[in-house]
């Protein structure tokens, strides 16, 4: 448990509550993945209401990006640092949404580890969780699978990148190497959907897909720093200068 909870020192996204939670505000991940389940409907509605999306398509893409960047983050960083795979299979994982956009908390039944390495990580993070979630969002909203998988890739990348932004004890070069190992053979074709790079001593992500957040009322006239709608040289320059949000 100590190794898992200690990761929160790197960034808030790695904070993980241990123990099966109680309360109606917690959503079991295995039920989020159910076809037409009310839990995913609730997440979509919260994101829609908070962001003012103009289409179901954009709502799904926005949800996928923030969800993938939070729900599996601790397990991804733990694997990167220690090579161990935390049991975050859907039946062992819960999420608690914010009142609006994003997830307020993530909980796991127990801080146990699964046998195996990278292939096991692919199973619990991608094959059993984020890729089926993408498929359900595609079925519900017709959002493109490539764009949804782009959100998966961006979210997973942030599990590696965020640790280099707030902590000076983890090597960006080391985490970049671990990301490259992770993404090289990741299911869903994640390697084609963007790149992690070093900028100003931190890891940043450059997407090849767009989450369409700029089309929402909350995101009007701004592009995410990683967005493919901005030329790569401009994105790199903005990251180097510490101003990744770009006004359009």
Q: pLDDT tens digit string along 186-233?
A: 999 999 999 999 998 999 999 999 888 788 888 777 888 888 888 999
Residue 184 is predicted with a pLDDT of 97
- pTM for the model stands at 0.93
Q: Residue 246: pLDDT band by 50, 70, 90 thresholds? A: very low
Q: pLDDT tens digit string along 56-69?
A: 999 999 999 999 99
Which fold does the domain 2-190 belong to in CATH? Answer: Transferase(Phosphotransferase); domain 1 (1.10.510)
CA separation (Å) from 204 to 1, 75, 102, 194, 225?
29, 19, 20, 10, 9
Block residue for tokens 């790199």: 236
The domain ranges of the chain are 2-190
């Amino acid at each position: 448990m100590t190794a898992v909870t200690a990761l929160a020192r790197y960034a808030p996204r790695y904070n993980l509550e241990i123990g099966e939670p109680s309360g109606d505000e917690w959503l079991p991940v295995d039920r989020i993945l159910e076809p037409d389940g009310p839990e995913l409907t609730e997440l979509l509605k919260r994101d829609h209401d908070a962001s003012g999306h103009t289409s179901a398509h954009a709502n799904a893409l926005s949800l996928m990006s923030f969800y993938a960047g939070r729900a599996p983050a601790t397990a991804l960083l733990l694997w990167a640092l220690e090579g161990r795979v935390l049991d975050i299979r859907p039946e062992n994982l819960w999420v608690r949404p914010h009142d609006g956009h994003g997830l307020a908390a993530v909980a796991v039944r127990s801080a146990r580890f699964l046998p195996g390495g990278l292939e096991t990580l692919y199973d619990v993070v991608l094959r059993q969780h984020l890729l089926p979630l993408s498929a359900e969002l595609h079925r519900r909203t017709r959002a493109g699978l490539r764009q949804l998988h782009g959100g998966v890739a961006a979210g997973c990348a942030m599990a590696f990148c965020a640790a280099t932004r707030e902590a000076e004890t983890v090597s960006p070069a080391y985490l970049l190497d671990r990301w490259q190992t992770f993404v090289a053979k990741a299911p869903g074709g994640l390697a084609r959907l963007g790149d992690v790079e070093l900028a100003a001593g931190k890891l940043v992500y450059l997407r090849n897909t767009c989450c369409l957040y700029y089309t929402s009322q909350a995101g009007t006239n701004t592009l995410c720093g990683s967005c493919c709608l901005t030329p790569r040289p401009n994105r790199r320059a903005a990251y180097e200068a510490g101003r990744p949000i770009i006004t359009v």
